[in-house]
Structure 1
Amino acid sequence: MWAALSRGAANRCPSCGQGTLFRGYLRVAERCGACGAPVGRIRADDAPPYFTIFIVGHIIIPLMLLAERGYAPSLWTMAAVFLPLTLLLSLALLRPVKGATVGLMMRYGITGREHDPRGDG
């Protein structure tokens, strides 16, 4: 499980660890270039943004509380510091979190098409 998570977070195929997982910023490649694993069939949907918001919130909120308690900056200063920090942290973490989610889903055989009426799941 940890291998699949770390490989996915590093933009590598969760199966072999050799091929790249993404072909764009967040678009998952159809197949691994090295082992041919069908990683493009796995649909992470809303899980990566949810996990990213959860992680970023648990980083930013304590920092905001510490800054407020220790320095009592103005509202504009807080906004000028923490809004860009939140945006940058979210953008930096979204891709590794999606890769880790795809790796975890692949490890457990979850493709998102288990109940597909066409039967190709």
Structure 2
Amino acid sequence: MSDAQTIGDDRPMKPAMWHGVCRRCPNCGDGAMFEGYLKVTDQCPVCQEALHHHRADDGPAYLTILLVAHILGFAMHIMWVHLRPDPLVMATILAIGAVALSLYLLPRLKGMVVGIQWARRMHGFGHSA
């Protein structure tokens, strides 16, 4: 096997992504990844894996907008076709839904992006096991 294959095998992508979605350390899956709502810890409190290398930047926000817009676009269509609510009622429901869904998805998608970066050894996560 080549070095690229052996390096990638010790950090599988799917478990790292799932741990990130669960807001846990991509390495051990036990330690909390976040100190607050979106602040990634410098290192895992359980396994001491360094997490300060991440560069999630705007990726999680773009993914959140993409998902929320598609979900609420579908909901808007279903509401208008089948229920025909008053436009102000519909706008209020959709606005509350957009905010709630965005607040729920944003930290999970950021955790997923950090998990992908960790599994692919991107942005300083290095080649050490």
State whether residues 44 and 51 of structure 2, in contact with CA within 8 Å, keep that contact through their aligned partners in structure 1.
yes
| Residue-pair matches, total | 114
Which of 77, 85, 91 aligns to 1:79? It is: 91
2:115 to 100, 103, 108: 103
Counterpart residue number, 2:7? none
- 1:39-87 alpha-carbon deviations (Å, 9 max, x no partner): 1211100000000111111111001001111122222011111001110
Identity %: 36
Q: Which amino acid aligns with 1:34?
A: V
Instruction: Give the TM-score taking structure 1 as reference length.
Output: 0.88
Aligned to 1:68: 80
| Amino acid of the structure 2 residue aligned with 1:72 | R
Following the alignment from structure 1 to structure 2, what is the Cα–Cα distance between the partners of residues 110 and 62?
A: 35
Aligned-partner residue type, residue 8 of structure 1: G
CA contact (8 A) 1:31 1:38 kept: yes
* 1:90 aligned onto 2:77: no
Q: Deviation of residue 113 (structure 1)? A: 9.2
Which residue of 22, 25, 28 corresponds with 2:40? Answer: 28
TM-score by length of 2: 0.83
Mapped contact 1:43–1:112 kept (Cα < 8 A): no
Matches of 2:58 and 2:122, distance apart in 1: 14
Segment drifting more, 49-58 vs 66-75: 66-75
Q: Displacement, 1:112?
A: 6.9
Structure 1 outlier segments of 4+, above 3 Å:
none
Deviation at 1:34? 1.5
Q: Which runs of 5+ in 1 are unaligned?
A: 115-121
Q: Which residue of 2 aligns with 1:2?
A: 14
> 2:53 aligns to what?
41
RMSD of equivalent CA atoms: 1.6
Q: 1:45 to 1:15 in 2, by over 3 A?
A: same
Q: Determine the C-alpha separation between the residues in 1 that align with 2:63 and 2:124.
A: 18
Please say if residues 38 and 107 of structure 2, whose CA atoms lie closer than 8 Å, have aligned partners that are also in contact.
yes
5+ residue gaps, structure 2? 1-12
